[in-house]
Each structure stands twice: as C-alpha cells, then as structure tokens.
Structure 1
Amino acid sequence: MKRSEFLKTIDIQGKTFQYYDITQLESQGIANISRLPFSIRVLVENLLRKMDDDVVKELDLLNICNWQPTYEDPVEIPHHPARVLMQDFTGVPAVVDLAAMRDAVKVAGGDPSAINPLIPVELIVDHSVQLDYHGTQNALTQNVAKEYQRNIERYELLKWAQKSFDNFKVVPPNSGICHQVNLEYLARVMVQAKEKESTLLYPDSLVGTDSHTTMINGIGVMGWGVGGIEAEAVMLGQPYVMSIPEVIGVKLVNALKPGVSATDLVLTITQKLRELNVVEKFVEFFGPGMKALGATDRATIANMGPEYGATMGFFPVDEKTIEYLRMTNREEQADITEACARANGLFYTGDENIEYSNVVEVDLSTVVPCLAGPARPQDRIVLDEIEDAFNALLNCDHERDTHMDHISQFLDESGCVSSRETSCEPTGKRLVTVNMNGREVKLGDGSIVIAAITSCTNTSNPAGLIGAGLLARNAVKMGLTTPAHVKTSLAPGSKVVLDYLESAGLMPYFEALGFHVAGFGCTTCIGNSGPLAPAIEHAIQDNDLTVASVLSGNRNFEARIHQSIKGNFLASPMLVVAFAMAGRIDVNLVNRPIAMDPNGNPVYLEDIWPKQNEIDALVEKHVKSEQFAARYATIFEGDTFWQELKIADSLTFDWKPDSTYIKNPPYFEGFSPELSPSRDIEGAKALLVVGDSVTTDHISPAGAIPEKYPAGKYLIERNVAKEDFNSYGSRRGNHEVMMRGTFGNIRIKNNLVTPEEGSFTRKFPEDEKMFVFDAAARYGQEKTPLVVLGGKEYGTGSSRDWAAKGSNLLGVKAVIARSYERIHRSNLVGMGVLPLQFKASDSWETLGLDGSETFSIQGIKDIAPQKMLAVTAVKGEKKITFEVLARLNTDIDVKYFHNGGILPYVLRKLIK
C-alpha cells in the first residue's frame, strides 16, 4: 500500500488543495471506514498521512482502520498531533526543560539549536493572575500589575522563548484562558500546510499541557491533556504513542427544557459517565439531541472530559461547527473545513450507522438545574436538594434522605472521607458576628464567601454569561444586593466576552452586584481566588466554620479553591449570581426566596430568571464576528507590561543564580549519551502509604505555599517575604520549591502518620515523624530507594507533570497502586518512575502492609509491556510476597523507562 495512492485534489472557493482520502480505504476493500466512530476516522487520516514505513508502518494503519470495539490486549499506534497547546503553569517548566536541554547539548559538543519545537507550539499565559482585588472598577488593573510584579522572572523566560525558539508563540497575560483562546482563535479545525508547490489539508489535532484541552473537542478537533514531558517529546518530533481506545457512544435525544443550562447538562453527564467508568476511553457524542446543541454548549460538555474520566469527549464536525467558525471570524476556514470534511467522510450528518464499544443514551429533556459538590465534580446535587445535602454534610439533619448518605461526612479534596470532625450540634449551625470595615456581618456554617464567574468551562458560552447578566439586571431592578461576606468576581476567558456584555448593556448590573471584571484568566477555578477579608478568614479559622464557595468552574477539590473553604460547589453562571445574592449555599432556591427587597417583599429565583428567548435574542444581536476580528488581530502583542519587558537575543538562557522562580533543573546532571542497564529495586522504603483517589493536587498542589512547610522555609531563607510567596503553580520553574512541595497538600492523608493530615511521614528505621521532603532527603543521603503505596485512581485530577517530576527528584523509584489516572501514569513513565499495579484482589491493606517494611522489586532488568513483577516486603521476621503488573503499556513506555524518562531518551537520539 502506498500513501500517494490516497492523495486527492479538491477545489474550494476557486483554490486547489490536496488531502489524503480515507474513504478510498473502503472503496479499495481495505477497511469499512463508514462503520468507524468519527474520532477513530481522525486517527485513520493521521496514520495514513504519516505512513512512512519507519515510524508509522502499514500495519499501524491497518490496525486503526480495522478498529475493534474491544481489545483483549493493548494495540499501540504512533499518533502525530499537529500542534501543542500550553498554559503557563505547565508551560514554564517545559520551557525550562528545553532551555536545560540546550545547555546539555552544548556541553556534549552539539548544536543547541537542534533543541527546537518541530511543530507549532502556542502558550497562553492564563494561570497566574490572582484575585487580590475585586469588586471595584480598577480591580483588573491592580490584579494585572500585581501579577507582573510576582511573575516577571517567569514572563522574561517566556518572552525569551518566544524570541529564541522557532514554532513557538506566546499569548501574553491579560488576554484570556488558553482553552477559550484556542476555541475562539487558535483552532484550525482543518489545517492548511504548505508542501512544495501545493497546500495539504488535514484535520487539526493537538495535545495540551492542561487537562481541559478537551474543550476543543466541541468543534471536532481531536485533542486531550498530556504531561508537560510528553508534550515536550511531541514538540521535538516524537510521536505520541497510544493504545487504540474503546469509543463509548453517547446518544443525545430530545432537547433541554427552558431554564436548563449547558452547565446543568455537563454536570449530569459527568455523574452518569463517572459511574460507567470511561477512563482511558474516547467518548463520542451523536444523535438528534446533538443537533440541538450549539458549538459553545458542546464545548462546555467537551471541556469536562477529565471530570467524567474520558481521554476526550468528541463532537464530530457538522453544520454547528461551521456556523461557529463563521461567527468567530474564520470564514475561509469554515469553507475549507466543510468541503474537506464532507469529501473525506469526516462530516457528521446523523444518517451514519456507526459501531461503538458501548452506547449510552442521555435524554436532554430530563436534565434539571443542579450543582456539584462539595468536593468532586461528579457529585451532582439537584437544585432543590442542596439545602438537605448541606445539612447532611454537617450531620445536622438526622432524618436526611438515604440518597444523601454518600456525602454525610466531611470530604477531603479528592472526595475521600476526611478525619476532621465537626463540632456542629444536631440542633443547628454555628453563627458568629464579624466586623467588616465597621459593619457587623453574620457568618456561619453554610455561608458563601466566594462567588466566582470563572473558568473556560462556562465563560466561553455566550448564552450562559448573557443569561447571568440578565439575571443580575432583573435582581438589581428589584433592589437586591450581595452580602458583604461574599467575595464576588467575574473573570472572562477572553476579552470578546467583555465586548458583548458591554454591547448588551449588562456590565453595569454585574458590577452593581460586585461582579466587576477582575482578570482575564483562570483565577478561582485554578485556585487563584486570592485572600478573603482578614475578618472573614479569622472567623472561619477561630470557629472552624464550614463555609462554601460557588463557581462556574470545572474543579472543586477542597483546598484547591481556597484552603479555608471546605464546601465548594460548581454551578452555572446564572446560579453563581443567584447564590451570591442569597449569601448561603444551604438554601432551597426553588422554594425559598433569594432575599427580601428593600420593602420587605420576598424575591424568588423564578421572579428574576431570564426567559430563554430573551437570552437567545441578545446572543444573536450582540455576539458578532467583528468583535473576534478586533480582539484577536493583536493577540500576540500583549499589553504595555508585556511590551516593556526587555529581553536579549541568545541561543541559550541566561540563568540567574539568585532567582527563586527559574532554576536550571538537575535532570541532566551526570548525563551520558550511553544507556546504562536498568536494575531491580532493592532495600526500598515507603515514603507514603495513601488511599483511593489521591489527586495530583495532593501530590503537587498548585495553590498557596504554607509558611511552615519546607517550600515556605526555603523561600524565607532566601529573604522572600510571605506575601511574596506567590503559589506553587507560579514557581514550577524552580525545582527546589517544587521538590519541597511534592506530597505537600495540607489535606493529604498519609497512613504512616494517621490521623494527622498534611505533608508528613515517618522515617525508618528510626520511626521518626517529619516532613515528607526531609525524610526523602535523609533517605537520599543513605542511598535508599523509595516507593509509594496507593489505592484506586492514583493521580486523578489535573494534568500536572510536577507530580511525577517531584516524585522522581525525591527518589521515588516506583509507585504501587490499585489503578492510575491516565495522564499521571504516563507522566510517571516519562520521568523514569515505574508505575506498578496491584492484582485485582490485592491492595496494601489486604496484603497486610503498613509501610514500615523494606521492599524489593524483581524483574525490572528485562521488563516488557504489562509484565508481572515480583515484590517482597520484609518486616522483622515477617515476609510478604506478591505480584504486581508493570504499567508500562507500550514498547515506547519501556524505552522511556530504561532511559530514565522521555527527556534523556530524546536527548540521546538527538546527540546520536
């Protein structure tokens, strides 16, 4: 089979293009393409186009175009994404790694310019702005100024990279959220690539260093989150080697009822698909109900793929995609996308007869308004049950319904039952009086202290934001306000949002309720909610109050939104505004009033809820392609802060020895171009023993740096004031901070120190309690290898490469868990840490392990994909032996592991 046989020509609007026609595989009798899910068809095109009988062989193409609904054994394929998307939290360490690789090549006598992205890389600075200021007209300007003050070293690095690397673009701060900018501007949907004298068309695809890269699936673009180290390998020309996935078809039928939002739908889908376990699978939406959803509603659903556990939630290209491209000022792309997708069997009509691994039906007409919380996105609560749910959470209602039992105890960041106990009496909730700027404010269990319209999930959806603005308008006209204890903020995902809200005349009403624009970035959703008022903070801490946040985001793990808030609830922008005015989460807004008007009359939610036809009319009138054209014409130029950064041209980066943000990492110290053989692990000790659903936030928190923890002490020793600590996420370019922050979440529960929570462990054989970092350092001095024992879903949550990098630098050689989240497993392999899995019936509990044992792991030298290894755990005269599965899933995983990770593997290839 020759690739050239499938190269076809197409004329679009008077221009001639070429494309690789996958339908010819069917007409030639090679494969039945028309039965394949659209997501698999995109992979078929990718392998057909890249088939070179070297990296991509004919067998790889045959394997994917003869896709099977289930596979007994994994079948791997080499996928070549068209581009890489980054945000600054994960992008900065990736740039640091590339700069370090240039140094390593230079030391080895090579050409540093060989370290250069080979495919387009786009980095959007969106994760660093914090809400130090809110509720005023100048809050945005103040927050951006503070952002640059904190992050100038990081931004200098990024501007250097933009000037020094080919194929590398940076969208500067104060521009928007990476996934929304990707959706509204960067996405090609159909790529145009110059090849000699012709232009080749092919489907856009990407990997991103953020879990919610999946948002782009809403307009038919294949993309998902990967670790920063995997993204670096793709940048440097390596294929993304993946196992052929199962594809779960989600058939959407009927339509949403008036008053039901896309947020309500995605929370319903998240709960349903989590129960079905779609981890490491593709989810593909189809059916008549899909046609009733516009591109931005689809993007809302696709965004939360990580929350329902799928690799991606894919909506194939159809007429809604084309409409969206036209609305966002991409007329030529709309024409090209429609013509090429139709010609190549990639355009969904609804008449297809597709084979899926399994089919799930979701009736849109049954969706009702809801929230999710208090600690996991899949824990959906119907709106009229939130009062009972919160009372059950507090154990204040002894007659709660049985369906609320699963949240009847305090839940930690991952959703696990926490060891904390409430002092709440069955008869009621605690209530205290707080003096805020001379005003007496009542604060108690259930009080909302943060209400944030934020996140790529919802601020990309004009209907959701215009709906929230109309609700605010109606409320203000009835005299409603927001209680003083609620910190309100509006953080749009792009500046186009502000344009259409101002055009519709809705911003004055948002601002009347305190929802002033406070930043263009992730803000509260990533944990950058900023400080609470000191009086509020003290009242919460002194009285151990269980207060709440409500946000239009996608993640609500405890200690992520704010370390003092135990109950965090996801909701639509409209419900965020409503609950902000109510001031409490424990109120049934279906039956109880939100508040009283100035005349003492109750105002109910139904009194201010906007009509769907009014929302639709304002979207139609005020969301215009001209707004997208104007905002994105200068997107890479940045504001005056960015333009004033002075950066010298240089091939290698000028590291500053006294920097506390950017340091040359030690990954290549002692690097040898020659590969040393892997060895069995002998005499290892357990650094931590943890339970189920340990998240990457537990392993590598992104938020505040506690002053008394090792990272805080490190900064203080270098004369960094506590108010200048910034966050773990912002300091990911400094391995010294991040090593000290590994397993540093204040809520992590290590069974070696139960019931205490936080970054503590026991050092053996002394059996001495200390910080995890300090114990790891002592073990390192003794040359003792380390292991971590875990439960189910180890590493769930955000795509966070430092969760693997930190583990590596602490000396962790292997993790033994019951199951892994897809990205974190891959990240561990990418850093040379061996992910091992207990047999189905085993766990550290059932085997009788307590973490004080000494561990040996045999069979590593000749390790192969999915090989069973033998583990021996010895404690005194007691010896426990058991088998574990090596979660090196593919041959390339094995190569990465033997090389000590992806970066040394790529570096060795480049040097050779």
Structure 2
Amino acid sequence: MVTLHEGKHYIVNNDHIATAEEAAKLSAEEGKKQTLTYQVLEKHNHSDNMEHLEIKFDSMGVYDNTYVGILQTAYASGLKEFPMPCVFTNCHNCLCAVGGTINTDVHKYAESACKKSGGIFVPPHEAVIHQYMREMIVKSGDMSIVSDSHTRYGTQGSVSIGEGGPELAKAMLGKYYEIDYPEVIGVFMTGAPKPWVGPMDVALSIIGKVFKNNFVKNKVLEFIGPGVSSMSMDFRNGIDTMTTESACLSSVWATDDKVKEYFEIHKRPNDFKRMQQGDAALYDGIVEINLDTIVPMIALPFHPSNAYPLADVIADPEKYLGMVEKEAERVFENNKDIHLDLRSKIHNGKIKVDQAAIAGCAAGSFENIYAVDQIAKKLNRGLGTFPLNIYPASQPIMYELNKIGVLNDLMNYGARVKTAFCGPCFGASDAPGNNDFCIRHSTRNFPNREGSSPANGQIASVALMDSKSIAATAFNGGYLTSAEDCPVEFTVPTYEFNSNIYDNIVYNGYGKAQPETEIVYGPSIKDWPQMSALTDNLLLQVASVIRDEVTTTDELIPSGETASYRSNPYKISEFTLIRKDPEYVGKAKAVQVYEKARVAGDAAKTAEIYEVLKAAGVDTPVEELMKTTGIGSVLYAKRPGDGSAREYAASCQKVLGGLANICIEYATKRYRSNCVNWGMLPFTYPDDNINLEVGEYVYLPGIRKAVEEGATRFEATIIGKDGSTRTMELELNGVSEAEKKVLLAGSLINSYKAE
C-alpha cells in the first residue's frame, strides 16, 4: 500500500520515480528548485540565502484556546495593528458551559481586540479555525501561520504552519519566522481510492508507515503524482489535516482544476494559482502510495500511528484489544487505580463500540457527512441507543446539508447533529463513560484525549476510523464494521457555498483598526507573570523524570478540562503534568519559593537552597549568589512535545519556575520553539539511560556566558540527594541568534520589551 524510498530521488514528469540512469543525468541544485515547496518558500523568504529562511506570512489564525495569551504577549511587546489578515475563531470553548463567565468573557475580549487592532472575529459555532481559513482566507502559493498543530492548507497550494503562541505574537508584530530550509518528502500517489475507502484510511496508512521511524519528522510533505487528481477537495483536505500526526512540518499539494473549482465555489476565483512541480523535481525521500490498494483502516489507542487494517482487527479482536490493554498498563503505570478492560467489549466474537463521533477539521466536511447519510439509507435502520454525534465544520456546510435534506435524514435515523466545534478532538464534549471504547473521525486518540480523567479513576479510549466505516458501524448496532462490508455507490451533489452566512455575522476589521477601542477584560484574564533574565549561573532541581519514549503535549498540559482556564496562566499551570506526574506541580512550586525569595531580596530564605552548592565546591557569600545564580526547576523527558502546538505545554512550566528541559530530542520543532520563547533552555542529552533522579540538582555555572558565546556543549554538575556530585555534558544545539536573544532576556516578552 505504502512504500518508503530513502535518500534523494527525482520525480520525472509527475509520473514516475527516476531510474538510476535518469537521475545521473539530472542536476540536484536545479531539482531542488523544481519542488513546489521551494517555489513557495523562495517567494516568502526575506533572508539573503535559502538555507536559513526568514519568512513573512500572508495570513494568520488564532482561536479561543490560544488567542488571549498570544494577544497579551503581542500587546506587551508593542502591537498596534495586525499587519495581515488575522482570523479569531471561537471553536474550542464555544459551549460556554464550564467555568461560569470565563469563556464568554474571552470571546468579548477577542472581539474588542479585533476592533481595536483590525482583526477578523468569527463568533462561536460558525466555523472551526481550519475550515474558515480554507473557505475564506488561504490562497494558492501563500503561507499562513496558525496557533494549532493541524494547520494544513496544502491542498490549496499553501505551505502553512502550525506554531505555538509566541511565534504567532512575532508574526503579529511583523517579525520574521526563522527556520532552516526543511527537507522535502515527495508523496507520490498513483491509482484511485476504492468507493468504501475514505481520507482517514489513506492518512492512517501514511502515518502508520512514517511516524515511528521519523521518516518525515520536521519535513514538508509534497503531494504529487497522477493519483492526486482522483480525489475530491474534501477527500484531499481530510488527508492533509492528518499529516500533522506524521510529525511533518507542513504540506503542499499540486493544484489542478478541482482546486480551481473549489475557489470558484467559494467565490474567490482570483485566489487560485495552478501549481505543479518541475519535470525533474528532487526530493529527500519518497512516500509512494498506490491508492488502489488502500483498505479501511483503524488507529487503535493511544496514537494515530497504531494503524492496522480494520478487517484484521474485526477478525481477531482478542489479539488487538489485548494489545491495547497491555499498552494501557504502560501508559498508566503510575496510576494503580486504572484498569482498561477492552476485551469485555467482545460479544460473540464481535467488538461492540460504545460511542462514535465525526467532527472538526478532519471530518466535518460536506462530502464526509453526505457519505454517512448514504450509508444510513443503504442500511435503512435506526441507531437505537447507539450515540453517533456529527459536527459539520462550518455553518455554510451545515446550511447546505440542511438544504438538501441530509441533516433531516440523519436525525431521522437517530444521529445527533451539532454545530461547528472542535470538542471531540480534545475531550471537551461527548466525553464517554468509564471503560468505554469509542470510534471517531477526528484528529487524535492520545490518552485521555476523549475527555476521561485518570486522576479521578476514569479511563476510556478512542480508535480513529474514517467516517464511512464509522457509519457502517453505527448503523450496524454499534458492532465494529468496515465500510467495505456495506458497499454504496457514492455520489456527491454539487456543493453551493452560501457566503451570506459569514457576511451577516463575521466582523471583518482587517485594514480598519479602531485604536480608540477599549479592550474588554473579564476577571479571569490575567497577564503573564514577570520573568527574570538568564542569570550568570543556574541552580535547578529536577522536578520530574519521564522515561516514556514520547511525551505528548496532552500529557505535559492536558486538553479538555483545562480549556476554560487558558486565559489565566496561574490557574492553568496547576494542571501541568497532572496526568503523567501529579507530584510535579508541588515539586516545581517548592523550588520556585526560593527564586521568589531571591528576587525579593530575602537572603535568609534563599540561603537554605544555596547550601547544596557547597557540595559542588561553591562557597560564595549568599548576597553574591543572589545576584548571580538563579533558581528553578528542570524537567527530563525522552522526546517531549508530540502533538499539539499549544504553548501552554511550555509556558505552564515557566509559570511554575521551570528554567530548562533536558531530553534526547524534541518531538516537534514547535514544542522546542515554545520552550525557547518562554526562556527555557532546550538542552539535549543523547544517552537513552540518563542518570538523573527527581530531587537532584543540576548546577550550571557560567551558563549566561556560554549562551552568549554560542556554546553547544556545557558541563553541568549534578548534586545528588546524598550530597554526592558527578558531571554531565549537556548539549545546546541549533540556537539561532534570534533564539539566543530570547534565552538571554528570559522570554520573548522580555526580549521585545528590551527592544
């Protein structure tokens, strides 16, 4: 189905991978320039070379889980007016159901900010962020930056990037996005999907092949080949959104007449540009996909890369559900009250599912939901008590589905149709019951992403599937079923986009800033705390050691229950690592007490922690140490930061006094960027068996000078709980000049204030 070709390869004439004889006659320098990626990046690069890029974007987007912190950073750094179209959607906290007035206060804050600084305000329930960007903003050949990891508008010919909040604040201030030229992977597609195969099936086939071996990590995926034309725009969008789960940086697709038609339908014909790679484009690797061979897939808990043919799981439920139970033992090894019993879902050899949802940027498309209706009509039976929840991705999509009768059909069969909302993707709605097994066409199935709370003794799990197979399951009594087993001749009517829906409700203030507008602040909207510059030396206590192979951002700071508190950095920080290490917050705060004492000039209190330095031969007077040696905590995890772009995974550590991370490698560029932008030193240590324990100290003498001088190796002294000492060489690689300024200043906010 999916074949990986390592090393550099040419795609010739968009129809085959070059043979060795053909490649020998081609120019590598010219081949690189013939990729779509190069064409777009060159247009947006403002540096004097293409190896280190300084990008300026054409548009940007933020949403109600992220925009308060971003705006607080930007306004503190001098924001007056948005330099490009900036979309504010309200698609994560739009239920306004938890936390009293918090969520509506946040929406009023954003609306007033859009009026003040010229933003575009999309009210709650109108559209999820990525659907609005696709429908109204993104152009072929452009670049967008959005505060969400699933920022993928490659199908429209855009190389768009999901990043953490500080990078969005930089864009708001007209600053460059700095990045080394990325490697580019050609996704060469041939054939055409079978009628019962959907976009999630293709996406999971790719993710399952490339995630665990890092084949596309931090690289751009370029979708090309004759197979592209076999897929509709909704189908392409469904694949494109999910590329985030491969750990790639971004994506871009060749554009054709179907893309042209998409822009025409959405009344933006002038925003289309035909884009095709050159006759001999050179890629840093190839993912070859024969679409004819793709079958319905399922990603078992607890990651989209746990992908298997659905037929295999249906045929041997004991084997596959047993695998998930074993994985749950590892995931929840620190919580002895948690026990996942999925094999209890097997009835007469069949897997009985508890709940299903089709939602968000990956699944809430017109075509996906129309296909669900066709399967419902084919099976022609009601859902009974089985809960199937469907969320169209925008009001225009919902309007059109309603106009042609699809929503009436689905509600007649028992489906619950709801407005545009990202909730099922991050655990803010449709939270299942304890030990439930759910199926979803959404973006992620990380632990607790469905809304359960292990800290309270709750556990549930989600498997990812395509909408077609979800419909086949839902209308078959909830027994796991492949769409291949209820074949339908799928037809899709022409989609008509009703732009009046947005014209009548969206506030479009771009280019019309009203600086006299007062920002509306609710009582739960708090500024970022004051942060100190990097001191000459650092004394850090190890607050947590996580030895999982990968630590997701959901584990660093959970989704779901924290959503309402993201306008308050102090409140949300209380949730840091609560699912993975509930003792972390208390340990970090205990160390932070001493840093607060140091800043306040309390020599007696600060002296208590400086006592440990005597073991490292430091006998400097306390008064001098208070001037030169900062105090904080440090977190160790092997590969932290997989998943979401949310900056809180880093900022919450900083709010609690975290000053550094140590890891083998950062799971994503965006998490490392978040750490740097919050002034946390992004150390790496290549040894998988690091000798580091919670409660030990890491002493970093001369760290400020080392950062100033661009040092990439640094000898730290580890002070054990028994007073023994040993040394450890930490690495500080890939720190750019811009990042150096931020680290020295102690945060991006401090750096911009200094300017």
Common fold by TM > 0.5? yes
Cα distance in 1 between the residues matched to 2:743 and 2:236: 38
User: Deviation at 1:848?
Assistant: 2.8
Cα distance in 1 between the residues matched to 2:673 and 2:685: 17
Output one character per residue of 1:862-911: Cα deviation in whole Å (capped at 9) or x when no partner.
325571111221212533322121144322111111122222222322xx
User: Deviation at 1:788?
Assistant: 3.3
Checking the alignment, whether the CA contact within 8 Å between 2:198 and 2:467 is kept in structure 1 is no
Checking the alignment, whether the CA contact within 8 Å between 2:352 and 2:480 is kept in structure 1 is no
Secondary structure of 1:862's aligned partner: helix
Output one character per residue of 1:387-445: Cα deviation in whole Å (capped at 9) or x when no partner.
466533554xxxxxxxxx5x451338x9687765887899x7389xxxxxxxxxx9x99
Checking the alignment, whether the CA contact within 8 Å between 1:895 and 1:905 is kept in structure 2 is yes
The equivalent residue for 1:260 is: 197
Cα distance in 2 between the residues matched to 1:301 and 1:430: 30
Output one character per residue of 1:503-545: Cα deviation in whole Å (capped at 9) or x when no partner.
432222311343232221212112111455xxxx4xx3xxxxx
Gap change, CA 1:891 and 1:83, over 3 Å in 2: same
User: Deviation at 1:37?
Assistant: 1.5
Gap change, CA 1:149 and 1:516, over 3 Å in 2: farther
Gap change, CA 1:553 and 1:847, over 3 Å in 2: closer
The equivalent residue for 1:610 is: 488
The equivalent residue for 2:493 is: 619
User: Deviation at 1:237?
Assistant: 1.2
The equivalent residue for 2:698 is: 855
Output one character per residue of 1:58-102: Cα deviation in whole Å (capped at 9) or x when no partner.
xx2xxx2xxxxxxxxxx4221111121111111122123334456
- 1:663 maps to which of 519, 522, 526: 526
Residues 1:551 and 2:421 aligned together: no
Residues 1:829 and 2:673 aligned together: no
The equivalent residue for 1:82 is: 58
For 2:583, the aligned partner's letter is F
How do 1:316-715 residues align onto structure 2 when only pairs under 5 Å count?
Answer: 316-334=254-272, 337-338=273-274, 347-348=275-276, 352-387=279-314, 390-392=317-319, 395=322, 407=324, 409-411=326-328, 429=344, 447-460=352-365, 462-475=366-379, 477=380, 480-484=381-385, 486-530=386-430, 537=433, 540=434, 546-563=435-452, 564-582=458-476, 584=478, 587=479, 589=481, 608-612=486-490, 615=491, 618-620=492-494, 623-624=495-496, 627-637=497-507, 650=516, 653=519, 655=521, 659=523, 661-667=524-530, 678-682=535-539, 684-691=540-547, 692-704=549-561
Checking the alignment, whether the CA contact within 8 Å between 1:86 and 1:124 is kept in structure 2 is yes
Checking the alignment, whether the CA contact within 8 Å between 2:592 and 2:632 is kept in structure 1 is no
Checking the alignment, whether the CA contact within 8 Å between 2:450 and 2:462 is kept in structure 1 is yes
Checking the alignment, whether the CA contact within 8 Å between 2:127 and 2:421 is kept in structure 1 is yes
Secondary structure of 1:524's aligned partner: helix
- Using the TM superposition, name which of 492-501 and 171-180 deviates more: 492-501
Cα distance in 1 between the residues matched to 2:144 and 2:109: 24
Checking the alignment, whether the CA contact within 8 Å between 1:185 and 1:632 is kept in structure 2 is no
User: Deviation at 1:791?
Assistant: 3.4
Checking the alignment, whether the CA contact within 8 Å between 1:206 and 1:223 is kept in structure 2 is yes
Count of aligned residue pairs for this structure pair: 682
The equivalent residue for 1:724 is: none
User: Deviation at 1:240?
Assistant: 0.3
Output one character per residue of 1:192-221: Cα deviation in whole Å (capped at 9) or x when no partner.
xxxxxxxxxxx321111000112x112111
Secondary structure of 1:96's aligned partner: helix
The equivalent residue for 2:104 is: 152
- 2:565 maps to which of 727, 731, 734: 731
Output one character per residue of 1:605-640: Cα deviation in whole Å (capped at 9) or x when no partner.
66744213xx2xx333xx12xx343333335159xx
- 2:574 maps to which of 740, 743, 758: 740
User: Deviation at 1:851?
Assistant: 2.1
Cα distance in 2 between the residues matched to 1:653 and 1:869: 45
- 1:223 maps to which of 160, 173, 182: 160
Gap change, CA 1:473 and 1:129, over 3 Å in 2: farther
Secondary structure of 2:470's aligned partner: helix
For 1:696, the aligned partner's letter is T
Gap change, CA 1:295 and 1:606, over 3 Å in 2: closer
The equivalent residue for 2:41 is: 43
Unaligned runs of 5+ in 2: 1-26, 453-457, 509-513, 599-608, 610-630
Residues 1:232 and 2:169 aligned together: yes
Secondary structure of 2:718's aligned partner: strand
User: Deviation at 1:499?
Assistant: 2.7
Cα distance in 2 between the residues matched to 1:424 and 1:456: 29
The equivalent residue for 1:710 is: none
Cα distance in 1 between the residues matched to 2:160 and 2:711: 26
Output one character per residue of 1:468-487: Cα deviation in whole Å (capped at 9) or x when no partner.
11112223x3xx33242x43
Secondary structure of 2:65's aligned partner: helix
Secondary structure of 2:499's aligned partner: helix
Gap change, CA 1:679 and 1:329, over 3 Å in 2: same
Gap change, CA 1:389 and 1:313, over 3 Å in 2: farther
User: Deviation at 1:794?
Assistant: 0.5
Secondary structure of 1:183's aligned partner: helix
Gap change, CA 1:376 and 1:583, over 3 Å in 2: farther
Checking the alignment, whether the CA contact within 8 Å between 1:409 and 1:417 is kept in structure 2 is no
Gap change, CA 1:366 and 1:838, over 3 Å in 2: same
The equivalent residue for 1:645 is: none
Secondary structure of 2:305's aligned partner: coil
Unaligned runs of 5+ in 1: 1-28, 51-55, 65-74, 103-113, 131-143, 190-202, 339-346, 396-404, 432-441, 541-545, 591-604, 639-647, 671-675, 705-727, 751-758, 762-769
- 1:124 maps to which of 82, 89, 95: 89
Output one character per residue of 1:209-236: Cα deviation in whole Å (capped at 9) or x when no partner.
000112x112111111111111101110
Checking the alignment, whether the CA contact within 8 Å between 1:686 and 1:853 is kept in structure 2 is yes
Checking the alignment, whether the CA contact within 8 Å between 1:307 and 1:377 is kept in structure 2 is yes
How do 1:759-770 residues align onto structure 2 when only pairs under 5 Å count?
Answer: 759-761=582-584
Cα distance in 2 between the residues matched to 1:805 and 1:856: 22
For 2:728, the aligned partner's letter is F
Cα distance in 2 between the residues matched to 1:430 and 1:256: 31
User: Deviation at 1:328?
Assistant: 2.0
For 1:169, the aligned partner's letter is I
Gap change, CA 1:424 and 1:654, over 3 Å in 2: closer
- Using the TM superposition, name which of 374-383 and 786-795 deviates more: 786-795
Secondary structure of 2:264's aligned partner: helix
For 2:390, the aligned partner's letter is L
Output one character per residue of 1:302-343: Cα deviation in whole Å (capped at 9) or x when no partner.
212220010012213333321221122222333xx34xxxxx
TM-score by length of 2: 0.83
Gap change, CA 1:314 and 1:565, over 3 Å in 2: farther
User: Deviation at 1:185?
Assistant: 1.5
Cα distance in 1 between the residues matched to 2:747 and 2:338: 45
Gap change, CA 1:576 and 1:565, over 3 Å in 2: farther
User: Deviation at 1:369?
Assistant: 0.5
Gap change, CA 1:353 and 1:417, over 3 Å in 2: farther
Cα distance in 2 between the residues matched to 1:154 and 1:298: 33
Runs (4 or more) in structure 1 with deviation over 4 Å come to 99-102, 144-150, 414-426, 444-447, 605-608, 648-652, 776-784
Gap change, CA 1:309 and 1:417, over 3 Å in 2: farther
